[in-house]
Amino acid sequence: MVELKEETPYRWRIEPETGMHVPGIVYASRALLPDSGKSGAADQSLVQVANVATLPGVVTASYAMPDVHWGYGFPIGGVAATDIGRGGVVSPGGVGFDISCGVRLLASELTDDELRPALPALMDALDRAIPRGMGKGAVWKLARSSELEEVLLRGAGYAVERGHGEQGDLDHCEDRGAVADADPDQVSPRARERGLQQVGSLGSGNHFLEVETVETVYDEKIAEAYGLWPGRVCVMIHSGSRGLGHQICTDFVRLMEKAMPRYGIAVPDRQLACVPVESPEGRDYLGAMAAAANYSRVNRQLLGEAARRAFRDATKRGRLELVYDVSHNLAKIETHPVDGRERRLCVHRKGATRALPPGHAELAPDHAAVGQPVLVPGSMGTGSYVLAGVPNGGAFYSACHGAGRQMSRHQALKHVRGQNLAASLEAAGIAVRGASRRGLAEEAPDAYKDVDSVVEVCEHAGLARTVAKLRPVGVVKG
């Protein structure tokens, strides 16, 4: 049992106990604390927050975002940084299986009213244009393995060079669409094999493409800088690195389990397998992880292009401006102050979104004055948010990544019937395409925490600022 001390109504502390190098900090309201609601099964995510605090080299605190829930090793919604110069480790469980899973938001030239007559045609066009599900089929059939190599090395820039998008898209991608230091040689043959077939496909589970309209603007100045105004129709895409990323995570968890004893590392949970960042295995993982991240950036670039084509076909107006593309499963080498000194850290964000403050050097010129867009998809049919990074943001400049599960897929299946759900979504004016009844039930809104409350905590806890809320009008489910 983990004991929580209330620091503020939006911030709770786990005191460091045996083995913990730092405290745990949980950003949540009382109502959002794991296991406080109707989850049914005991959620172990707070134990996981405490376990992460035992990792070698971890600094400041092991953090949990307000949408935290039980994950593999790290909780989903977990943030932790390790000091590279002091034996700090990297852990694949702190990135997750869907490496660089993330969200891309595009804004159309249509208003809600203009779209309405064309919505059924648009949804049908998206239904045809967006490959999804577990299997094969993708927007881009890579001709040769050398093409995959370029994808892994160069990310979205390569896709744009090959005609899949506009140069300007890259300005609004995290890392300009490619993580440096990707090492395709560390990507196993099995991971490559899975990757060849799937670049430009949504996947299954909670991945989706939504047509949304800007419902409420909370901060006009920032919303204007992002190109968001009430009634503007947008497209939100949530997808990741598909089987390739999953295979890389599997490969390196196995490898690190074996390597750990060599570095004298013991962890309280074998899912937290890790090695020092400055070790051959650590460098190899980060090289493979960067390659998977680049794959995911290409994947979302291609899905965005497919959406542009569908808009062109169905509405004759295909211009979709990229608002932003950001990951929520990644480890990054960043510099942050620790005890008053700048340190090189390996920042793990798993189910957490980087949220750079205004004035940060890595921001695009048009975002420099207002901070980085933070894209927060809600559960199916409930609406999504755009937030912005703030000065002095907590948890190494991180914020939430979604609503956060409170029911397992299995529990959701028992509670919700997909058929009823499809009917109620359609009754609410939300067009649904491509989802199986089972898939719908697994992702039902009741299975998730309330995204409004999650975002409210982010704002009150000083992690990010609320900019706009988007309402779904159509969903394509993986």
Which residues are at the interface with Zn ion (CB under 5 A)?
101
Least distance CB 328 / Zn ion (angstroms): 6
Nearer to Zn ion, 22 or 323 (CB): 323
- How far is Cα 105 from Cα 374, in angstroms, rounded to an integer? 10
Phi-psi sector, 40: left (phi>0), alpha (psi -120 to 50), beta: left
Nearer to Zn ion, 225 or 234 (CB): 234
Calculate the alpha carbon distances from 153 to 115, 284, 369, 385 in Å. Answer: 38, 14, 31, 31
Nearer to Zn ion, 101 or 187 (CB): 101
State which amino acid sits at residue 40. G
Least distance CB 100 / Zn ion (angstroms): 9
Name which of 390, 334, 326, 333 is nearest 172 in CA terms.
Answer: 326
Nearer to Zn ion, 101 or 307 (CB): 101
Nearer to Zn ion, 11 or 350 (CB): 350
Least distance CB 341 / Zn ion (angstroms): 34
Name which of 73, 78, 54, 61 is nearest 256 in CA terms.
Answer: 73
> How far from the centroid of its chain's Cα atoms is residue 342's Cα?
27
End-to-end CA distance of the chain: give it in Å, rounded.
37
Handedness of CA 177, 178, 179, 180 (dihedral sign): negative
Calculate the alpha carbon distances from 137 to 5, 262, 289, 385, 407 in Å. Answer: 50, 42, 23, 30, 30
Q: Which helix (H) or strand (E) holds 102?
A: strand 102-111
Q: Where are the beta strands (DSSP E) in 152-300?
A: 208-217, 232-239, 275-276
8 Å CB contact between 473 and 384: no
Least distance CB 96 / Zn ion (angstroms): 8
Quickly tell me which residue has 């249509």 as its tokens.
110
Least distance CB 402 / Zn ion (angstroms): 7
Q: How many beta carbons lie within 10 A of that of residue 225, not counting itself?
A: 19
Which member of 164, 401, 410, 415 is catalytic? 401
Name which of 91, 99, 100, 94 is nearest 256 in CA terms.
Answer: 91
Nearer to Zn ion, 26 or 101 (CB): 101
* DSSP, res 448: B
Nearer to Zn ion, 343 or 401 (CB): 401
Query: Which two structure tokens, joined as six digits, stand for 266?
Result: 């013991």
Is residue 21 annotated as part of the catalytic site, yes or no? no
Least distance CB 376 / Zn ion (angstroms): 11
SS3 of residue 375 by DSSP: strand
Q: Which residue is nearest to Zn ion (CB)?
A: 101
Catalytic residues: 401
